[in-house]
Structure formats: C-alpha cells, structure tokens
Amino acid sequence: MSTNHVQAVPADGSGPGAPDARQLRTILIAVSMALMAVIASVSGLNVAQTRIAVDLETTQSTVLWIINIYTLALSALLLPLGAIGDRLGRRPTLIAGLAVFGVASVVAALAPTAEFMLTARVANGVGAAIIMPVTLAVITSTFPEDQRGKAIGVWTAVAGGGGILGMFLSALLIDVADWRWLFALPIALVVLALAMTLRSVPNSRERSAHAFDTIGALVSVVAVVGLIFVLQEGPERGWTAPATLTSLAVGVVATVGFVSWELRRKDAALLDVRLFRERGLAGGSTTLVAVFGVQSGIFVVLFPFFQAVLDWSALLSAAALMPMAAAMMTASGLAPRMASRIGARPTMTAGVALTAAGLTLMALSVSVDGGYLSILPGIIVMGIGMGLAMVPSTEAITLSLPRAKQGVASALNDVTREFGTALGVAALGAILTAGYRDAIDDRLDGVPTATAATAREGIANAVEASASAGTDTQYLLDAARQSYVDGWQQSMWVGVAVMAVLALYIALRGPKDATRATEV
C-alpha cells in the first residue's frame, strides 16, 4: 500500500528529532499506566459481585453482564479503533481514549442503578478499545529498534501481570472500603497517564491513499461480538441454547464474510488476512491465544480452590497469585535479551514448554492436604514460561505488519489475547465442572437427595449445603473438596496437552528472527 507518514518522530525511532532516553522512559511509563488502567478494569469487579448485586438491587445475571459487557465492547472495537488511531494520529487517539475511559469510570463509580452502570461499562469498554492498541503502537512507532524489544517486554509484563495485580488491589479495596472505590485505581492511573501523554508522547500517524474500510470494520465487530458472546454466555445459558447457537452462527458467518471481504480489498483492507500465511503472525497469534487461554482458565480453577477448598478470603486468594505475576513480569523483562541471543523461536518454544511443565507440576502435586504449597512451584514455573512466550509472540505480530499499520497490529495482538481469555475460561471451566460432577457423583452415597443435588452444582454450593447436612457435614465437605481436586487435575492435563502441541508447532513452524514488514 502506498502511504505517506506525518510523524513527530523519525520513522525508525532514531536520528534527529527522536525522543531522548528520558522522554522514552516517560513515554513507556505513560502507556504502561494507561494499559494498567484497562487491564485492572477487566477483573476488578469480579471480587465484588455480591455487594454490587445488593447495592444496586439487581440480579446476579445482571451483575455478570456488568462485568462481561466491558470485555465484549473492548474486544469488538479493538480492530476498527486501532486502524482509526493509525489514521487520526496515535497521540490524540490516546488522549481521547483516556478521556472517555476516565469519564466513564467516574460515572460507573457513582452509578445509582444497574442500568446506569451497564451504560457506563459500555463506555468504559469503548475507551479501553481506543487506549489498548494505541499503547503498543506508540512503542513500536517511537522506540528505536535496539530498545524496542525491552519496551515491548515491559508492555507485555503489564498486560500479563497487571490483571493479577489489579485483582489483588481490588480485593484489598473491597476489604477496607466500599466496592465503588474499585474505580479509584483506574481513574488515578488515567489522570497520571493523561498528564504524561500531554507532556511527552509524540505523534505519529498514517495518511492512506485508500478510504477507511468501513464494511470490514463493521463485519469484524459482528464477528467478534458473536464469538465472544458464545464463550461468555455458553457456560451460563447452555451450549445448545437458542441464543448460544444463534450467536455462534452469526459469529462464524461474519468471520467467513470478513475474510472474504478483506481478500477482495487487498491493499485497501482493514487487515490483510493473507499475512496469516507468514510464520510470525500465525505463530505469534496462536501462542497468545493459547497462553492467555490457559492463564485465564487457571484463574477460574484457582480461585474456588483457594476460597472453597482452603477457605481463604478474596484478598488472600488474590495475594496467592502474586508469585505468578512476579515470575511472569521478571521473565518478560528477560525475554528480549534471551530472544536476541538464541532467537525468537527457541525463546517462545522454551516459554511454552515451561508453561506445560508448570501445569504438569500442579496436576501431579495438587492435594487438599498439601494446600497452597502443593501448587506454588507449578505457579512460579508457569509464570516464567508465560513471560518468556508472550514477549516474542507480541513482537512477532507487530513485526508482521508495516509501521503504518501498527495500530492494527496492536489491535490484532489484543484481540487474540481477549479471545484466548474467553476461550480458556469457557473451556477449562467446563472441563473442571464436568470433572467435579463425575467425581462427586461417586462420593454422595447416603447423602440426602436434595443435598446431593445442590452439591453437584459446584463446590461453593456444596460448602453452603454442608451447613445444613447434619451428621454428613464433614463427609460432604471432604467429598466436595477432593472432587474439586480431581476436576482440577483433569483441566490441568488438558492444558498440558494444549501446550505440548503448541510447543511442537512453534519449534517446527514458529516465527523466524524477522525484520519489520515493509510497505507494499
């Protein structure tokens, strides 16, 4: 595609007019704060579901929509808004996104009703979809090549570990204050990021000879909404429910339509889908889907283990994940150096293999009696593996598209993460639930029928039912906890299998040490 660039920094991030070391540090801090605000808002409200339902006088189903609508809006709009950011300019786009996100967060914190909250969360998602792709695009278009890998490592560390840190801080706020204070952290981060952006972030943008691909953008929104809705609502509504099947059909048809349309547009496409033939884009995207899927699925498994099996508080449960976040963020910092020495493909393969090793350790060692220490080594090894895998995967995606398309590249990177997250939660959650039910069915002989039926619904239900089980109380608790561990092991072994296949794929077909794609 023939383009002209109007940039406040040189195209290669170096030479006269390029930001100095101090300005680059400020830019990295600004985009990291903006990204942290977005990531923390994904998981923050999960720790306050009951309190939100009571305070807003609404149902649990509505509360789940308040949580999920943010992710749905974010995922659906990433690609078109990333492309728009390339055209309008990355600095003004980031400023606009921070403004929308900040105002929406204030409205959500003050929302008097569930309807207000839902509206604010949609606006939150829109703001997040503006912010998230442009943060990475600013890095890839501003930092010189010799520093770009380290900056992407920091960005990846925040994207991967920020959710865990946000969850911990949210749980802490819930313990010491009202749930509405959960929005204080994102608001504070947005204010700081906005001030630093106005002062230090340079502008870069694309001027294209082609009109914006409006049809491709709209079809991509329909495709992502359809597929993400299936993954979010399938476990609740049922995989064969009419709404689930309809959404799946819409998502698949829209995806096929999007690919067909983009192939016809070629140089004027929103996303040149032909690039998925290249190892970098295919390998990086596949790795991020799988790694984030496993990470998010693990969270679904871990929290009930901490709270129902070990009887821990939400705050202590979130704190228990901090070693994983620390390991992931440390490994993300080391990954660029490792990739420069041995190559991107060996680094990604090692990361995926270590993730599989961590899952194996947890599957083999988890036990009710062993408690947290039985899974701690696996958590740490898995965190190291994910950090090593994510950084070269992210860089492989951004290098697959030319500099003028870095908003699109960043958005694609983010979409794969969000899709992987939804897929992992749905898949590993379903496997865990099935494994738990199969295991507890064999342990409920002699338990009253009504109590047994409640216990089958999940370990939290079993713990609640045990309070009125009379002489069967301890037996029911022991049965539920051991059944949960059995289900845990099944979901872990599925994760191991996925990572093993991925490691083989990356070892054979992973990205080479490529240079950035050129304009065509």
Q: Residue 5 gets which letter from DSSP?
A: E
Alpha-carbon span 399 to 215, nearest angstrom:
26
Burial of 214 (0-12, 13-18, 19+ CB in 10 A): exposed
pLDDT of residue 470: 66
3-state DSSP assignment of residue 6: strand
3-state DSSP assignment of residue 4: strand
Token pair 């089958």 is at which residue? Answer: 456
pLDDT of residue 513: 62
Go through the chain and tell me how many residues it has.
520
Q: Could you write out the three-class secondary structure of 372-418? A: HHHCHHHHHHHHHHHHHHHHHHHHHHHHHCCHHHHHHHHHHHHHHHH
pLDDT of residue 3: 39
Contacts of residue 160, defined as CB under 8 A and 6 or more positions apart, other chains included, come to 295, 325, 328, 329, 332, 386, 387, 390
List Cα–Cα distances, 485 to 117, 240, 383, 430, 464, in angstroms. 36, 28, 21, 15, 18
Q: Residue 71 gets which letter from DSSP?
A: H
Write the DSSP assignment of 175-207 as a string of letters: HHS-GGGGGHHHHHHHHHHHHHHHHHPPPEEEE
Among 22, 4, 86, smallest CA distance to 407 is for 86
309 in Cβ contact with 484 (< 8 Å): yes
pLDDT of residue 469: 65
How far from chain centre, in Å, is Cα 394?
13
406 in Cβ contact with 137 (< 8 Å): yes
Taken in order 138, 143, 144, 147, the sign of the CA dihedral is negative
pLDDT of residue 270: 81
pLDDT of residue 281: 82
Among 395, 396, 376, smallest CA distance to 326 is for 376
Hey, what are 483's tokens?
């059944």
Among 238, 203, 220, smallest CA distance to 95 is for 203
Alpha-carbon span 436 to 480, nearest angstrom:
8
Low-confidence ranges of the chain (pLDDT < 50): 1-8, 10-12, 517-520
pLDDT of residue 17: 57
Alpha-carbon span 134 to 66, nearest angstrom:
25
Alpha-carbon span 462 to 476, nearest angstrom:
7
Q: Could you write out the three-class secondary structure of 257-321? A: HHHHHHHHHHHHCCCCHHHHHCHHHHHHHHHHHHHHHHHHHHHHHHHHHHHHHCCCCHHHHHHHC
List Cα–Cα distances, 143 to 52, 140, 373, in angstroms. 42, 6, 41
Render the burial of 230-250: b for 16+ CB within 10 Å, e for the rest. bbbbbbebeeeeeebeebbeb
- pTM value is 0.82
321 in Cβ contact with 164 (< 8 Å): yes
